[in-house]
């Protein structure tokens, strides 16, 4: 077994969780936002948020939603912040090294995309029904890990649009294999809710208690949809917009390609069942 293979086999999603203690507040500086329902004021990219403290901690972390900064409680960097801070720049922060600050801010969104792909590829590689393409997924996983270790100049040379498109082909194959296997296992069962493929407009849809197992909800607009008690096991949720979707009592265990940001943007409660890789948001009622 090669060293690369060994490192990849040991790779796990714990490394793809945001660790703000090891980050230089990059999301609070590098990213722009506008005054809206998610943010209380405008901020340009590269401008530190007025709530960012000298130690790179948020000064209003415990009251973000009450201060109109809901977007901050939704965002998740997939661990890209600490990777750029501690690996790409070796622990040199943008205040200590102002000459490289702009470069660091530009590297951050590239690393975010690579870590997002790592999140999906790690999950895909672990799914048994995707066994026919495990070698391809392993190769893509190793290559993505390699890219995250590049120096800043090399990262700027990565064609992210093309790279994401190529990885997405594998993720789509994974989804089809897993969902087909699931549908085959539950053949003959009724009550299935049929949803149009990719990008379905389900804004405000009444899907309470719906059987959505093994459906493709890739890129679906589920904004403010009523999904209380819905069964989403095995459903492909990659890219689905779940802002204010009500997941109270819904079952999302075994759902495909669900991210922490999607869960953070939705509503839920103590009865909502989540995949073990995700954390119940603090703003959900107990």
pLDDT in tens, the chain (286 residues): 333 444 444 466 788 999 999 999 999 999 999 999 999 999 999 999 999 999 999 999 999 999 999 999 999 999 999 999 999 999 999 999 899 999 999 999 999 999 999 999 999 999 999 999 999 999 999 999 999 999 999 999 999 999 999 999 999 999 999 999 998 887 655 555 565 566 789 999 999 999 999 999 999 999 999 999 999 999 999 999 999 999 999 999 999 999 999 999 999 999 999 999 999 999 998 8
Output the pLDDT for position 10. 45
Task: Please state the length of the chain.
Answer: 286
Residue 32 C-alpha from the chain's centroid:
19
Tell me if 31 sits within 8 A of 45, measured CB to CB: yes
DSSP per residue over 153-202, as a string?
HHHHT--HHHHHHHHHHHHHHHHHHHHHHHHHHTTT---BPP--SSS-B-
The region, left, alpha or beta by phi > 0 then psi within -120 to 50, assigned to residue 216 is beta
Q: What is the C-alpha separation between 52 and 181, in angstroms, rounded?
A: 48
Residue 13 C-alpha from the chain's centroid:
11
Output the pLDDT for position 208. 97
- Three-state DSSP class for residue 21: helix
Tokens of 100: 């490289």
Q: What is the C-alpha separation between 166 and 108, in angstroms, rounded?
A: 21
CB count within 10 Å of CB 123 equals 20
Tell me if 176 sits within 8 A of 238, measured CB to CB: no
């Amino acid at each position: 077994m090669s060293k690369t293979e060994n490192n990849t086999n040991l790779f796990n999603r714990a490394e793809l969780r945001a660790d703000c203690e090891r980050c230089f507040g990059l999301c609070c500086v590098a990213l722009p936002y506008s005054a809206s329902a998610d943010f209380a004021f405008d901020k340009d990219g590269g401008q530190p948020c007025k709530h960012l403290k000298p130690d790179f901690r948020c000064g209003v972390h415990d009251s973000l939603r009450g201060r109109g900064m809901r977007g901050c409680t939704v965002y998740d960097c997939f661990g890209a912040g600490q990777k750029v801070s501690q690996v790409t720049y070796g622990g040199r922060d943008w205040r200590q090294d102002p000459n490289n600050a702009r470069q660091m801010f530009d590297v951050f969104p590239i690393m975010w995309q690579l870590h997002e792909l790592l999140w999906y590829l790690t999950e895909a590689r672990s799914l048994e029904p995707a066994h026919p393409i495990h070698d391809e997924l392993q190769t893509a996983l190793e290559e993505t890990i390699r890219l995250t270790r590049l120096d800043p100049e090399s990262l700027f040379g990565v064609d992210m649009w093309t790279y994401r498109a190529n990885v997405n082909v594998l993720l789509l194959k994974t989804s089809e294999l897993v969902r087909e296997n699931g549908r085959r296992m539950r053949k003959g069962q009724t009550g299935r809710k049929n949803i149009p493929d990719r990008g379905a407009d389900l804004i405000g849809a009444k899907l309470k208690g719906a059987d959505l197992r093994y459906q493709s909800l890739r890129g679906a607009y589920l904004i403010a949809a009523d999904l209380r008690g819905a069964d989403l096991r095995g459903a492909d949720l990659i890219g689905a917009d779940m802002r204010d979707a009500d997941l109270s009592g819904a079952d999302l265990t075994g759902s495909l390609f669900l991210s922490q940001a999607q869960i953070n943007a939705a509503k839920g409660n103590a009865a909502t069942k989540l995949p073990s890789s995700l954390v119940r948001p603090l703003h959900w009622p107990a």
